[in-house]
Amino acid sequence: MKMYRFIAVLLVSVLLLCACAGCSDKETSGEFRVGVVAVTSGELFRKGNYIITAARYAANKVNNDGGLELSGQHYKVSLFPADSNGDAETAAKVARRLIEKDNVSAIVGAAGSLVALAVAKVCEEHKVPFITPVAGTNKLTSFKYSFRVSYTNTVQGEALAFFVLKDLKGKDVGVLFAASSPYSAELARLFKKDYIKGGGRVSAFESYAAGQRDFSIQLKKIIKSGARILFLPNNTKMVQLQVAQARKLGFDGILLGGDLWDPIELQRNSLFKNSYYTDHWIPGLPIEGAAEFEKDYKKANGVEPSELEALTYDAVMSLFAAVKIAGTANPVAIHDALVDMPPFHGVTGTFDYNNNGDPDKDVIISTFRDGYIAVQEIIDLK
């Protein structure tokens, strides 16, 4: 009987030791939590899927290599995706939930400027780093804890003005922009300022209201002004409607766009022949590590990476680089590491987050040739 009791006590002790060892292992190989805000419903779901797929690819890559090593411990990266629904109010709610309930150490994503600004405000309140792959509005700069991989609207507007003056011979430009969009209105204004400063002429400067679908009044004014270039700093869905209506009304000039254009959707649309737009990256650029990324990404996901996927990958991997430098999952320490770390060598190029959280990068001007995306020019404004 005593022997049975001894064995029972020994068994319980072993089980308790195993349980404690399991707890210790869990603490040692901890969890680094990252929130991913991306629209996965509605008409802009494609962009959200790009972001989530790229973030997951980056996390898997790090986890397959043993995770993030912080102070001698290995942390597994865990992603917490959240649908912004493309709406600023929803984005703010999900960002707050990610920080307060899911305890994320950082947030990536939020491609649109309105959504990005909403997330940035919440992250600023909680002192949590936020990196957007592509939200160009200059207003993001006012938030200390926000960073971006893409260039700003200031850089983009200057590059577009330079390109039109130099390569398109300074033709008259008509502009149609969304008055309610921080991105669209800001980029339109900055382009106009730089183009006029360089000696160009903006013959028409027209805005449209949120929800508008008939642009004939504005487009007729632009055509009547003699504009030979139509600048549309608007999202892909709006641009497709606007170009179809402009061509129908007789506009046969050059189309000009910003980095909000989705080239994958537009490249085989014959209406967009003779068009140019700002770009961040396309497959085949001679950037160190880009070819390997393209090959491995396609193997993992079955398709070539898009521009947004490459930018998101760089956003997430630059975050991981900062985490390794910080040596902790503490959000404030990670923020400081993002500001102070050396230039990051990404697949979209080498960049350095400056004191405003904005990278110093070249601007690519792309076009469509025979149904394919091609680089027209790379502009270095530094």
Write out the DSSP string of 179-222.
TT-HHHHHHHHHHHHHHHHTT--EEEEEEE-TT----HHHHHHH
Contact 58, 300 (CB under 8 A): no
Rounded CA-CA distance 95/189 in Å is 30
Q: What angle do CA 377, 380, 381 make, to 5 degrees?
A: 130
Q: What is the pLDDT of residues 194-219, one digit of tens each?
A: 999 999 999 999 999 999 999 999 99
What average pLDDT does range 49-56 have in this prediction?
96
Closest CA relative to residue 116, chosen from 197, 61, 181: 181
In this predicted structure, what is the pLDDT of residue 371?
Answer: 83
Residue 23 has pLDDT above 70, yes or no: no
Q: How many CA atoms lie within 13 A of 94 on its CB side?
A: 24
Rounded CA-CA distance 177/188 in Å is 7
Only one residue has tokens 């912004």, namely 84
Residue 9 has pLDDT above 50, yes or no: no
Place 29 in a pLDDT band, splitting at 50, 70 and 90. Answer: low
- Percent pLDDT > 70 in the chain is 91
What are the phi and psi torsion angles at 309 (to 5°)?
Answer: -70, -40
What average pLDDT does range 87-98 have in this prediction?
97
Rounded CA-CA distance 340/352 in Å is 9
Q: What is the pLDDT of residues 132-173, one digit of tens each?
A: 998 888 899 889 999 999 988 999 999 999 999 999 999 999
In this predicted structure, what is the pLDDT of residue 355?
Answer: 66
- Sign of the torsion angle spanned by Cα atoms 87, 96, 143, 39: negative
DSSP state at residue 152: P
In this predicted structure, what is the pLDDT of residue 250?
Answer: 97
Q: What is the pLDDT of residues 163-195, one digit of tens each?
A: 999 999 999 999 999 999 989 999 999 999 999
Contact 50, 306 (CB under 8 A): yes
Helix (H) or strand (E) holding 16: helix 2-28
Residue 6 has pLDDT above 80, yes or no: no
